[in-house]
Structure 1
Amino acid sequence: MIENIINTIKGQLTGELQSKYNLEPEKANQSVDLAKDNVVNELKQRAGSGDMGGLMDVFKGNKAPADSSATNSIINKYVGDLTSKLGIPAGVANQVAPFVINFIMQKIQGQASAGNLNETDLLGGLTGGGLKDKLGGLFK
């Protein structure tokens, strides 16, 4: 579900990166892919540890993305990936990362606020199937 949301905004985000930060089209495209990986990995990690409350506050609009430790963690990892994997200068990466991650989080928040996304959808998508499928065998 998260991947689908990011994929639908990829073109818009790639264009923004090219116009605002002068990234080449290929680097802009790769940057969005890296952002998606970073967001999904952080969500998986937090879902696995049972620490989804803070992220759900962001997704439900109870907390701004910039005020979330999860968002800040994603941004920090993403800056590292932009510099190490794509060779984007640190100064540019430090501007690109907050913009991209906050943009993505706001789009996810919009879907959650509209009722199109809930915690079960998130967790089901992150674990590769519905929660019921994953936990069903435990309660037989």
Structure 2
Amino acid sequence: MPRAVTLIRSASLSDVAEYAYAATAPAEARLIFLAGACPLNEDGTTAAVGDVAGQAAKAVENLRTALADAGAALEDVISTRVLVASDRQADLVAAWEVVRDAFGDHDVPSTLMGVTVLGYDHQLVEVEAVAAVLDS
């Protein structure tokens, strides 16, 4: 199945970043705006309490489910924002590594942010995404 998303890398910017700097989708693509994927279990409890990497993994799992329900997959994501409730850079990196690894070669433009607090009890990570698909 052809994908709508084209990742753009910039030779003019640092190659230290582990993601593309931009992405495009054609005008005929259907955009999917996803709410932040939270590290919640089916019963509404927060998964992996106190574990940034564990919560990032659960958030990505829930993101995959939301994408599938919208007719998309991780390869259709055009951008992400990873929110981590911490002022420690090591926590941000731990969450980022899980998200980065989940996306593999589809290294979409991403923003990684430390925030003060997130919405659920014991929540440390949230992953927002926008996807683009070509409907047949």
- TM-score between both structures, scaled by the size of structure 2: 0.36
Q: Comparing both structures, which one devotes a greater share of its residues to helix? A: 1
